[in-house]
């Protein structure tokens, strides 16, 4: 009898098993674009544009009015230069960005800050460190290294010193508290100043995860239900048998 109960309980757990399905929300940055990376160096002529997949992540890099990036250097007024982007995306688990610099400075000081705000008070901050999380668009005298894990190269023209142009992707994992809230705003702050780690962003994609049943679990639902009914029937018979007095 106890065995039958245990079997029914285990089957119920199996039916309820779920996993996460990743969806991608590509953000159009064209309303904020104020520069065209290809204009800075001839080797950048092949920079990706349009709807592209880089490092396994889709990005929306639109060319509008001749521009395809937000560049802190092109913003007027005193530093820091700040880019605020409203999002309103629920279930966010990860954010991927395409960020490089001009005249980058190595760490440990950070000159670029990424901030994420949730509607219920969720907050996360990521400081990008030169030669670790971010480096220059062009291979020259300044920052040329990345960690190769959370920041990876997704485009390179090749050519080496003073010739190579490149684009790198940052992967930022958000705290779990964001999954119960709406990711309301993304903020990039460039604090370095003129010719000091000026940030440039070309892509922003938010990864969301929805809870869905495991495919294997869905396939087993029918057989699990039948087995569960059989176990329930056997359990009921066992109860009746134990309640019937033995006649000698």
pLDDT in tens, 10-41: 334 444 444 457 899 999 999 999 999 988 88
pLDDT in tens, 78-136: 999 999 999 999 999 999 999 999 999 999 999 999 999 999 999 999 999 999 999 99
* C-beta separation of 79 from 193 below 8 A: yes
Q: What is the C-alpha to C-alpha distance for residues 205 and 28, in angstroms, rounded to an integer?
A: 9
Q: What is the pTM of this model?
A: 0.78
Classify strands 110-118 and 57-61 as parallel, antiparallel or unpaired.
unpaired
Q: Give the pLDDT score at 211.
A: 54
Q: Give the pLDDT score at 155.
A: 96
At residue 213, does pLDDT exceed 60? no
* C-beta separation of 197 from 111 below 8 A: yes
* C-beta separation of 29 from 85 below 8 A: yes
End-to-end CA distance of the chain: 25
* C-beta separation of 148 from 154 below 8 A: no
């Amino acid at each position: 009898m106890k065995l039958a109960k245990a079997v029914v309980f285990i089957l119920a757990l199996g039916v309820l098993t779920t996993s996460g399905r990743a969806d991608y929300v590509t953000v159009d940055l064209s309303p904020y674009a104020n520069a065209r990376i290809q204009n800075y160096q001839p080797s950048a002529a092949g920079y990706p544009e349009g709807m592209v997949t880089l490092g396994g992540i889709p990005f929306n890099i639109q060319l509008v009015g001749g521009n395809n990036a937000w560049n802190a250097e092109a913003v007027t007024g005193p530093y820091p230069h700040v880019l605020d982007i409203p999002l309103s995306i629920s279930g966010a688990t990860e954010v991927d960005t395409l960020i490089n610099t001009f005249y980058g400075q190595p760490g440990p000081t950070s000159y670029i800050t990424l901030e994420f705000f949730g509607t219920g008070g969720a907050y996360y901050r990521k400081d990008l460190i030169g030669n670790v999380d971010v480096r220059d668009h062009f291979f020259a005298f300044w920052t040329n290294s990345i960690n190769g894990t959370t920041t990876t190269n997704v485009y390179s023209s090749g050519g080496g010193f003073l010739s190579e142009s490149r684009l790198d992707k940052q992967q930022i994992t958000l705290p779990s508290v964001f999954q119960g809230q709406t990711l309301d705003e993304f903020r990039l702050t460039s604090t370095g100043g003129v010719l000091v780690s000026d940030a440039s962003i070309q892509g922003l994609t938010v990864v969301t995860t929805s809870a869905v049943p495991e495919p294997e679990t869905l396939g087993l639902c029918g057989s699990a239900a039948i087995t569960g009914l059989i176990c329930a029937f056997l359990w009921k018979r066992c109860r009746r048998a134990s309640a019937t007095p033995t006649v000698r």
